[in-house]
């Protein structure tokens, strides 16, 4: 279960400053920021994110989640909605990396990624790394996720579209084909979405192996470090913290009822 | 050293700045970001006798300058919590104060009894429900006192703190923490539902300081101020109002470095304010960035860098 | 129309948004910045029987996201205040609710008697001290009821509002205002002194909404929400929690336009959100500035401009 | 008493947007902003100021006082400390003009201005207008005011310096010479400063005429419009609001005890 990787990333958590180096508008709704980060924060893995603070003011109070979609040299690329203007040269406080890497199984050669009603940003780094390792990757954009800018996706990626109910024509075929599935659905509908997904997969695969069906949990995280207990996920067997044990959870372990 | 509690076996701490219950977890969570040895103590998240599951539904609502949190006091129950954290509590760089939620006299008494036998626990903090009466205060304190020799802190709800303080003192509390965060209701932007929970933010400070000021004139035992502290000056205002020490709450989540800065500042360990560096990190030229230089023009360096750096 | 108070002669208002006591003065102060006819009513600053001088020393302390004010309830005494403002109250574009500070049953009764004979006063709001007991609530309301037929609103202190609400209803209040701003203590940056006073800010909202939610389940008379409303959504949260109407407080000082926007929004008069212009100010092209255009890209115009503009 | 002037400026109070057009650094401590303002806010007179709001955030909450030191065409010049960076193009919400013009007497040919422990900014517009009307103007910078950048003052102005106690060598001569005196002292020491000033002037002038000795009162102003009553000044004869009746008050009327 790549425990050593997790240990080491846990150890590298830091609250450091980063500088915005470049701001690119990707679409009406999206912009991408290249930021120069502290060396300890460079080694971020797919699934991990940062909690960012841009102001000395207490309003807004909470840090915002910044999800890296690419890492290159000193710099990370972050995807943000276009609501706020960022300036090159602006300094941002980054706390992280938060959470554990998405546990991609060594045997995975065909990977199905599903983004429900949200930007697929938290799946992009995983997709690029998997493609680079010659894994076949299919991404399904479901519901509101269909509005995502196609140009912003890697060209090698097969992209499908699902309707608001979370269904798409190739669904059964995809479930049969995939060696592993990783889905992202935003709160508050994450548990509902994942429950339906598990049901749908069960119809195709009689036996679902441990670690096969992964859901990302991204509730608001006040602390990001396991202290405030606000990000708890109810599990079959106790409870887990999204910021420490997640965001990637084996959906067989989660209480999806 | 600061005597944090009255009584026969007072709890003494080396720094007046304490991490508040519910903000730093049960264990070493923040050691990766904060030098906990600089704090006077840390209060654990609340523990109950029976295990409690996390609240379902929305648990965080962002507020203007603050946050509403509704966790449901999740914990694995006293036995498992104590067992899981015993090793860290023994070697903790700062004294550990275990926060017990006052669910019933029976349960809190049993928790106290188990804690009494544990090494590494410096004191117990009793957390009361928002609707606690004089009678609840007396009974809960009595139940804990009957089962432990450990010093007892009682954290009172903000609204009723001035009404309950004298009862807590009479019942034998070693110190009073003023106050627990008040409860509020706000609309969850994601679901549109109205959510109730604890509310935190810098604006808690004037409310809590007022309660501290009222209570120090009523009781003789130490009063520990808590609520909305976000920088060293905030903490000093509580001391000016008569508090013996302070607990720092939600700022730890959003600016973890600030909690250490507050402790260092009140402990006299903040020496190189200008560069913002720690005393033991300071070296000549550290403060020479352009950004820092521009600040310097407004307010010149208050003191020269020390020639002898404390460890 | 909204029935703001119960009783035989209910006060009805055309808009659920009211300017709170202590924020808009006694008279036409804000008519230069706010179209007061858009508000449901305005509550005057507090009046006492005897004249009161302004507090000495610091009267304002800026807080994180808020303000502490300590005025000392200055006013020229009931007779002079009523005389000086009578002309405006008669022609006021919105109903006038006169706020009487509950100094003593005798004094508040005399104030009510004088008001009873005045034209242009739609209702009386009783303001209670923070330490008011059940008995105070009953006696003050009785003293006012004995001297006037005017509808009576009672504004309760935040901390004790849930404890006093039922007493206010029983004693004959027509409506309950939840809540008066709480008192806090903060250090004046200019003098270094600790100053006590009323505290205001957006963070008051979750605390007040919680109290509203508790109280609507206890009483049958209308509850008017008050505390920290800073935009139309804030006001709607109070209504969602069960309030019949709302009072807008300190936002009027720092963003006077917002008070009108809240009233227009809740009154269904906000039609051209995109350009931020008033419905009766809208003309084609109004929304075409660069700044506005950039916002449009994020969230496209929700509705087309109306072809038929209301007056 | 120029009542008609007051009326008309009261009437013109507005909450409007202005744009920062130019930012100039005057000294280590001072910068000056040229701002383009709404036509209703152009006709600001010496003594009046604006309450400015630069952010949509509620922290900081209160508006800050912006004191115009010059008016030219569409634009006003504002003096600010250097702590904050202002950008040309930045939009600012201005509420005002707040208060009444300083009532300069028609007969005044020699004017003494005294700035105690504060920037003389709120006297500069008065000084320039008086100089333009061929009035002789002397400015005394007392205590902390001595640090004010000389280059920022009009060259025709005679400038003297007073010590921390509020005294200067030419004091008695100045009091004898001046047709009118206008002083500014910041809170919380305004009343004390003005009390001592009145005492000192009494030693030179047996009879002080009404309107001769003016002090500016500049307490924090939450509303600036006479509603919140936080800016009250205790007077011999009742109380006045600094934002409505002030900032200029005849020191004979104020309770300086
Ligand atoms: C790209 C880049 C280059 C930089 N180059 C330089 C440089 O060349 N020289 C330079 O001086 N800075 C430089 N900085 C800033 C530097 O990294 C630190 O951030 C700065 O010294 C601290 O500033 P701060 O107060 O914002 O830090 P904070 O984030 O507030 O604090 C950083 C740490 O110091 C502690 N701390 C802060 N203030 C105090 C205090 N007063 N007392 C005790 N402990 C305290 C905190 O607990 C925290 O652990 C650079 C920053 C960036 C992003
Ligand atoms: C130099 C300059 C040039 C400008 N040129 C243009 C221009 O060409 N075209 C243009 O459209 N704007 C222009 N503006 C902006 C314009 O002046 C107004 O400020 C803008 O239309 C309103 O934006 P706001 O929401 O920030 O105003 P606010 O200050 O929020 O509101 C202005 C007034 O409208 C009322 N109001 C605001 N929103 C609502 C609402 N939703 N419902 C009911 N009432 C409401 C308020 O009560 C207030 O009285 C310019 C501004 C500046 C500084
Ligand atoms: C049985 C019970 C015991 C409580 N004990 C505590 C306590 O020990 N400490 C505390 O901070 N709050 C305590 N509270 C009151 C708090 O207001 C609140 O319930 C708690 O902080 C959890 O809030 P949340 O579920 O909204 O996060 C208690 C509440 C109940 C119902
Ligand atoms: C005799 C007395 C009567 C009071 N009546 C009122 C009142 O009518 N309305 C109110 O808002 N506050 C009232 N208060 C309580 C307030 O908490 C506070 O005193 C008032 O708002 C003035 O606060 P300040 O002097 O700090 O500005 C009263 C307080 C006293 C001492
Ligand atoms: S965000 Fe605080 S525990 Fe996970
Ligand atoms: S600032 Fe509000 S009355 Fe003067």
Q: pLDDT at position C268, please?
A: 78
Question: What is the tens place of the pLDDT at every residue in C145-168?
Answer: 999 999 999 999 999 999 999 999
Mean pLDDT, residues C243-262: 96
pLDDT in tens, C61-110: 999 899 999 999 999 999 999 999 999 999 999 999 999 999 999 999 99
- pLDDT at residue A12, as a whole number: 75
C310 preceded by a cis bond (ω within 30 of 0): no
Ligand 3 centre to CA of B23 (Å) is 14
Ligand 2 test: best mutation among D13, D14, D17, D92, most atoms within 8 Å of CB?
D17
| Whole-number average pLDDT of chain B | 87
Task: Tell me the shortest Cα–Cα distance from D82 to chain B, in angstroms.
Answer: 7
Nearest ligand by distance to the CA of C257: 2
pLDDT digits (tens, 9 = 90+) for A41-51: 988 999 999 99
Q: Which ligand is nearest to the CA of C261?
A: 2
What are the helix (H) ranges across chain B? 78-91, 105-116, 134-145, 161-171, 204-216, 232-240, 251-254, 256-266, 290-298
Asked if pLDDT for residue C310 goes beyond 60, the answer is no
Q: Please check the confidence at residue B304 and state whether its pLDDT lies above 60.
A: no
Q: Which ligand is nearest to the CA of D218?
A: 6
The minimum CA-CA distance between B292 and chain A, rounded to whole Å, is 13
Q: How confident is the model at residue D193 (pLDDT cuts 50, 70, 90)?
A: very high
Reported as a pLDDT band with limits 50, 70 and 90, residue A150 is confident
Atom from ligand 3 closest to the CA of residue B100: 8
Task: Read off φ and ψ for residue B205, nearest 5 degrees.
Answer: -55, -55
Tokens of B140: 């809960």
Q: How confident is the model at residue C306 (pLDDT cuts 50, 70, 90)?
A: very low
Nearest to B65 among D59, D81, D83 (CB): D59
- Cα separation, A213 vs A199, in Å, equals 11
pLDDT of residue C269: 64
Q: What is the pLDDT of residue B225?
A: 98
Enumerate residues lining ligand 3, CB below 6 A: B 21, 46, 55, 69-73, 101-103, 127, 129-130, 180, 183, 197-198
Q: Which helix (H) or strand (E) holds D9?
A: helix D3-11
Distance, in angstroms, between A28 CA and closest chain C CA?
A: 6
First to last CA, chain B: 18
A124: tokens are 């992009």
As a whole number of Å, the CA-based R_g of chain A is 18
Ligand 3 atom closest to the Cα of residue B127 is 8
Question: Which residue in the set C64, C196, C237 is minimally distant from B202, CB to CB?
Answer: C64
Question: CB-based contact (8 Å) between C131 and chain B?
Answer: no
Distance CA A68, CA A86 (A): 16
Rounded mean pLDDT of chain D? 91
Residue range B270-285: mean pLDDT, rounded: 45
Res B275 pLDDT > 80: no
Pairwise CB contact (< 8 Å): B256 & A15:
yes
C310 or B89, which is more confident: B89
How close does chain B come to C257, measured CA to CA in Å?
A: 19
- Enumerate the residues of chain C whose CB falls inside 8 A of the CB of residue D229: 25, 45, 54, 71, 74
CA C273–ligand 2 middle distance (angstroms): 10
> Per residue in D78-126, pLDDT tens?
999 988 889 899 999 999 999 999 999 999 999 999 999 988 999 999 9
| pLDDT value for A57 | 87
Give the distance, in angstroms, between the CA of residue C192 and the centroid of all CA atoms in the same chain: 32
Q: Are strands B175-180 and B223-226 parallel, antiparallel or unpaired?
A: parallel
- At C256-277, the pLDDT tens digits run 999 999 999 998 765 444 444 4
**D58 to chain A: nearest residue by CA?**
A59
* Residue C271: predicted pLDDT: 47
State percent of chain B over pLDDT 90.
81
User: Residues B14-29: pLDDT tens digits?
Assistant: 999 999 999 999 999 9
Q: What is the pLDDT of residue B269?
A: 64
* Paired tokens of D95: 């509420």
B245-248 and B223-226 strand pairing: parallel
Nearest protein CA to atom 4 of ligand 4, as residue: C129
pLDDT over threshold 90, residue B143: yes
* Paired strand residues for D112: D138, D181
Residues with Cβ within 8 Å of B192's Cβ and at least 6 positions away in sequence, in order, are none
Nearest chain D residue (CA) to C57: D188
The answer, yes or no, to whether residue B274 has pLDDT greater than 70, is no
CB A86 within 8 A of CB A49: no
- The Å distance, Cα C275 to ligand 2 centre, comes to 6
**B29 Cα nearest atom in ligand 5:** 3
Given its phi and psi angles, is residue D134 left (phi above 0), alpha (psi -120 to 50 degrees) or beta? left
Could you report the predicted ipTM of this complex, rounded to two decimals? 0.80
* Tally of residues, chain D: 257
Instruction: Evaluate if residue B287 carries a pLDDT over 50.
Output: no
- Asked if A225 and A80 count as a contact pair (C-beta separation under 8 A), the reply is no
Selection from A88, A23, A76 nearest residue A50 by Cα: A76
pLDDT band of D11, cuts 50, 70, 90: low
The chain-wide mean pLDDT, for chain C, equals: 87
pLDDT for the residue A39? 87
- Token pair of B218, please? 């009523």
Would you place residue B299 in the very low, low, confident or very high pLDDT band (cuts 50, 70, 90)? very low
pLDDT value at D170 more than 70 = yes
**Does ligand 5 come within 6 angstroms of the Cβ of A224?**
yes
With a cut of 50, say whether residue B300 has pLDDT above it. no
Tell me the residues of chain C between 59 and 78 that have a Cβ less than 8 Å away from chain B. Answer: 63-66, 68
User: What pLDDT score does C298 carry?
Assistant: 31
Specify the pairing of strand A232-235 against strand A238-241.
antiparallel
- Angle of helix B161-171 relative to helix B134-145, nearest 10 degrees, comes to 30
> What is the rounded distance in angstroms from the CA atom of residue D83 to the CA atom of residue B296?
10
Token output for A15: 């609250």
Q: At what angle do helices C134-145 and C161-171 cross, to 10 degrees?
A: 30
Best residue among C264, C276, C289, C305 to mutate for probing ligand 2, ranked by most atoms within 8 Å of CB: C276
**Mean of the per-residue pLDDT values for chain A?**
91
């Amino acid at each position: 279960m790549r425990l050593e990787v997790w240990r080491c990333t846990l150890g590298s958590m830091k609250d450091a400053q980063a500088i915005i180096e470049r701001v690119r508008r990707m679409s009406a709704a999206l912009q991408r920021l290249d930021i120069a980060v502290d060396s300890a924060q460079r080694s971020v893995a797919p699934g991990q994110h940062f909690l960012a603070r841009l102001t000395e003011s207490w309003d807004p109070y909470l840090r915002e989640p910044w999800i890296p979609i690419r890492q290159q040299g000193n710099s990370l690329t972050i995807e943000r909605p276009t609501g706020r203007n960022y300036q090159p040269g602006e300094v941002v406080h980054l706390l992280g990396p938060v959470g554990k890497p998405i546990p991609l199984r060594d045997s995975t050669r065909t990977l199905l990624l599903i983004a429900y009603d949200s930007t697929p940003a938290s799946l992009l780094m995983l997709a690029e790394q998997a493609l680079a390792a010659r894994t076949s990757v299919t991404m399904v954009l479901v519901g509101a996720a269909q509005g995502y800018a196609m140009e912003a996706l890697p060209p090698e990626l097969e992209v499908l579209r699902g309707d608001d109910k979370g269904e798409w024509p190739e669904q059964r075929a995809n479930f049969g084909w995939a060696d592993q599935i990783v889905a992202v659905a935003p709160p508050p509908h994450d548990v509902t979405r994942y429950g339906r997904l598990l049901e749908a997969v069960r119809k195709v695969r009689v036996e679902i192996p441990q670690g096969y069906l992964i859901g990302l949990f991204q509730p608001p995280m006040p602390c990001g470090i396991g202290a405030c207990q606000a990000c708890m996920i109810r599990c079959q067997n106790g409870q887990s913290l999204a910021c420490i044990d997640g965001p990637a959870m084996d959906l067989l372990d989660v209480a999806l009822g | 050293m600061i005597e944090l509690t009255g009584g026969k076996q007072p709890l003494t701490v080396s720094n007046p700045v304490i991490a508040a219950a519910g903000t730093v977890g049960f264990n070493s969570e923040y050691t990766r970001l904060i030098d906990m040895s600089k704090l006077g103590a840390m209060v654990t998240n609340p523990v109950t006798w029976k295990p409690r599951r996390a609240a379902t539904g929305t648990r965080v609502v962002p507020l203007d300058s603050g946050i509403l949190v509704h966790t449901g006091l999740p914990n694995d129950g006293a036995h498992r919590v104590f067992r899981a954290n015993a090793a860290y509590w023994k070697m903790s760089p700062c004294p550990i104060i275990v926060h017990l939620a006052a669910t019933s006299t029976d349960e809190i008494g049993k928790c106290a009894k188990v804690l009494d036998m544990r090494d590494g626990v410096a004191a117990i903090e009793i957390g009361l429900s928002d609707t606690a009466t004089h009678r609840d205060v007396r009974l809960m304190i009595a139940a804990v006192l009957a089962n432990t020799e450990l010093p007892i802190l009682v954290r009172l709800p903000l609204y009723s703190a001035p009404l309950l303080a004298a009862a807590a003192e009479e019942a034998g509390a070693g110190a009073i923490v003023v106050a627990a965060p008040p409860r509020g209701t706000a609309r969850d932007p994601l679901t549109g539902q109205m959510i109730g929970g604890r509310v935190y933010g810098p604006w808690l400070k004037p409310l809590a300081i007022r309660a501290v000021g009222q209570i120090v004139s009523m009781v003789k035992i130490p009063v520990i101020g808590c609520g909305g502290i976000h920088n060293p000056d905030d903490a000093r205002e509580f001391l000016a109002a008569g508090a013996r020490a302070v607990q720092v709450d939600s700022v730890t989540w959003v600016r973890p470095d600030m909690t250490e800065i507050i402790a260092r500042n009140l402990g006299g360990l903040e020496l190189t304010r200008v560069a913002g560096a720690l005393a033991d990190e300071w070296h000549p030229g550290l403060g020479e960035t352009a950004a820092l230089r521009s600040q310097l023009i407004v307010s010149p360096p208050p003191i020269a860098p020390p020639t002898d750096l404390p460890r």
